[in-house]
Amino acid sequence: MQKAPSMVQPDQGYGFIKPMAGDKDVFVHISAVRGAPTQHLNENQVVEYELVENRGKSSAENLKVS
């Protein structure tokens, strides 16, 4: 599933992915980035991820930069 980050806070180490299908934004921590040449995401950068539930909240894990 490919999505585009809608807001990235590189200095904070997190951001949100806005699903292309128009669903609710998904939280992403920079530690979830896998296989990227850098440890940050750029605004509107297309990524693939797995949606996981933890303590009743959804977040993106195992990100791959497209």
Tens-digit pLDDT profile for residues 19-50: 887 788 889 887 776 555 556 677 788 888 88
Place of tokens 């590189």: 10
Q: Strand 47-54 vs strand 2-9: parallel, antiparallel, or unpaired?
A: antiparallel
Identify the pLDDT of residue 53: 92
As a three-state string, the secondary structure of the chain is CEEEEEEEECCCCEEEEECCCCCCCEEEEHHHEECCCCCCCCCCCCEEEEEEEECCEEEEEEEEEC
Q: Where are the domains of the chain?
A: 2-65
Report in angstroms the alpha-carbon separations of 15 from 21, 43, 47.
18, 9, 13
- Return the CATH superfamily for domain 2-65: Nucleic acid-binding proteins (2.40.50.140)
pTM for the structure as a whole: 0.73
Identify the pLDDT of residue 13: 77
